[in-house]
Amino acid sequence: MKIIHCADIHLGSKINSALASIGHERKIEVRNTFMRMCEYACKNDIHIILLAGDVFDSDNPLKKDKDNFYMTIRNYPSIDFLYLKGNHDIKALYEDIPLNLKYFNDTWTKYQYDNLVISGLEITASNQNSFYDTLNLKEETLNIVMLHGMVSDTKGLNLIKINDLKDKNIDYLALGHVHSYKEYRIDSRMVACYSGCLEGRGFDEIGAKGFIVLDVLDKIKYEFVPFCFRTIHEIEIDISGAQAVNDVTKKINQEVEFNKNDIPIFLISLKAGGTGLNLTSADVVIHLDPWWNPQVENQATDRSHRIGQKNVVEVVKLITKGTIEERIIELQEKKKKLSDAVIEGENSGEVIISKLTEDELKNLLFNN
């Protein structure tokens, strides 16, 4: 059996953030991404979709948003939609709901599919301290639990004291409320996951957004699926050395264009590309022009190998046999050994500058 875990769709959101200039367009994209997810579920033999809170952005969603939500669900009668309301839409009352849309409330509600039991509860002021003790699950069944709130070490409204759910025979805790994908190993049996939102609605919701696909057999396997129509990126740009607004704009445009992933290859000289750039979209660095000082090459490599890089960075040096490049590599190795010796020493960290010859010191200090 396959299941989708998603949350925090926020249908009807006003998009009053820095993206307000395209707010209407983003509202349509959020709605369309939910519809695309349901189509994906149909094509990929998904049996159940878990909606872990905040499907709507408010307690009183517009009729057109509710109608579109219901129509989408009715279009996929073979899929069960299990809807747990969150802090944004917990007071909303809905009528004429589709038969395949199932609800939870402020007491534990369970739905069973063969050996799989899906339990959920909406956290309220009246049950925020007691719902942990009222959850009873059988050891022999596979157990998914749905909650909407922030993982915490204390109890409270919209808070989940995660330690109080340990050893409750939970296999997978499907969470909503946090808008980025996160996973936690809680005990030997339970993993807890936030699916994140389907679409970022502001610059505080950067990075890949999507849902989690669960594959339920004798165990529960899970995988995050990036699915958003529009990804919001954060790019760090070093504008050191920029003398005018045009210089700043040029640097910004250069990095933004490269990090769009539309450019498969970025050609730049070693010195120009060695500082002030953040090129984490690249995970292969090829050095064509070796430099006397190995630290210059390392600095250029670090344009890709820095915070924000999610892949393993592969570094390649191309050296032409029988040319001066071989001599440069020899000098690089000598300089590296000398610098390591100066920093670390031969014995117990002892500095060995006194043991270097005059020629070695000149080579170390002046061949940069």
Q: How far is CA 244 from CA 1, 247, 250, 276, in A?
A: 59, 5, 10, 16
- What is the bridge-based pairing of β-strands 150-152 and 142-148? unpaired
pLDDT, residue 59, reads: 85
Within a 10 A sphere around the Cβ of 75, how many other Cβ atoms?
13
Torsion over CA: 141, 144, 150, 156 (sign): negative
Beta carbons of 213 and 46 less than 8 angstroms apart? yes
Q: Provide the CATH topology of domain 2-226.
A: Purple Acid Phosphatase; chain A, domain 2 (3.60.21)
Structure-token pair, residue 138: 């059988």
- Mean pLDDT, consecutive 10-residue segments, the chain of 368 residues? 96 71 81 96 97 92 90 96 91 81 95 96 94 95 97 92 95 96 93 95 86 95 93 77 82 71 65 66 78 77 74 82 83 74 52 58 57
Beta carbons of 210 and 226 less than 8 angstroms apart? yes
**Structure confidence by residue, pLDDT tens digits, 34-44:** 999 999 999 99
pLDDT, residue 261, reads: 58
Beta carbons of 147 and 120 less than 8 angstroms apart? yes
What distance in Å separates the CA atoms of residue 103 and residue 101, rounded to the nearest whole number? Answer: 7
pLDDT, residue 349, reads: 44
CATH of 245-358, one of 3.40.50.300, 3.30.590.10, 3.40.50.720, 1.10.645.10: 3.40.50.300
Residue spans per domain, the chain:
2-226, 245-358
- CB-based burial label for 363 (10 Å; 0-12, 13-18, 19+): middle
Length in residues, the chain: 368
Rg for the chain, CA atoms, rounded:
28
**Structure confidence by residue, pLDDT tens digits, 89-124:** 877 767 788 999 999 999 999 999 999 999 999 999
pLDDT, residue 348, reads: 44
pLDDT, residue 316, reads: 82
